[in-house]
Structure 1
């Protein structure tokens, strides 16, 4: 299989926007050549509560699920979910000042587009996995 070029952004929980502290909680991946638009979300409540013990985790979870729903598109994904995948990716990765923010968009390439999301979650979100320089339980 030829190498696929993809774009990704890391999803960040920013419980106190004024402090600009964040925890990586997911990744959005777009591969135009394969039609891939997918979000992987792995919220670690303890890490987010370390930044703000009073954070509303139910609201945070609902907004994170909305990102995954928009990526999937189709019924229930609202007007943004009706846009073409690339337009949805750009809408999801637009800069905003809220409890959920995304990193700048980065580009990569892979011979196995199906494995991109899991590899990025390992490197950018999951604690205690090889390659992310952090230690911890690695629970999913």
Structure 2
């Protein structure tokens, strides 16, 4: 009989991407969003490299992208500034943020894992996949 490892919790994460020209399917990884149901943990780390984004788009579009990423963060945090979606529970917000869409800000497919510290795992994934 298999036993669970002490302190390990199932988590899900997705990479947050900027897709400046959706029809070209080119993207830049800009963040990671991680959800752990058991610990009621939902957090994202977004890092915008404006120079990279401006290689694909103009300055005005880059500002719009930054605003969209800020809205993503506000929804993830459950902030009142994030609107009605931000008022949903963690699971619903995570599912909404990672839903498949054809927009400039997208999430990768959702990936599972085990962690005893979701915050440290989020930082590690951000470093590996974004920085």
Instruction: Decide: shared fold, TM above 0.5.
Output: yes
Aligned position for 1:50 = 55
Change (3 A) 1:74 1:50: closer
Q: Which residue of 2 aligns with 1:85?
A: 90
CA contact (8 A) 1:21 1:51 kept: no
Shift of 1:52: 3.1
What TM-score results when the alignment is normalised by the length of structure 2? 0.90
What residue is the counterpart of 1:70 in the other structure?
Answer: 75
Q: 2:28 aligns with which of 23, 48, 62?
A: 23
Task: Give the corresponding residue for 2:64.
Answer: 59
Structure 1 regions of 5+ residues with no counterpart? 127-140
Structure 1 residue runs of 4 or more that deviate by more than 4 Å after TM superposition: none
* Structure with greater helix percent: 2
**Greater relative contact order (Cα 8 A, min sep 6): structure 1 or 2?**
2
* Cα gap change, 1:17 to 1:55, in 2 (>3 Å): farther
- Equivalent-residue separation in structure 1 for 2:27 and 2:117 (angstroms): 30
- Report matched runs for 1:1-140 at 5 Å: 2-53=7-58, 56-126=61-131
Root mean square deviation, CA, Å: 1.4
Is there any run of 5+ residues in structure 2 with no aligned partner, and where?
1-5
Q: Is the 8 A contact 1:15 1:55 kept in 2?
A: no
Alpha-carbon separation, structure 1, partners of 2:112 and 2:82:
26
- 8 Å Cα contact 2:34/2:118 also seen in 1: no
Q: Residue 54 of structure 1: CA displacement?
A: 5.7
**TM-score normalised per structure 1:** 0.84
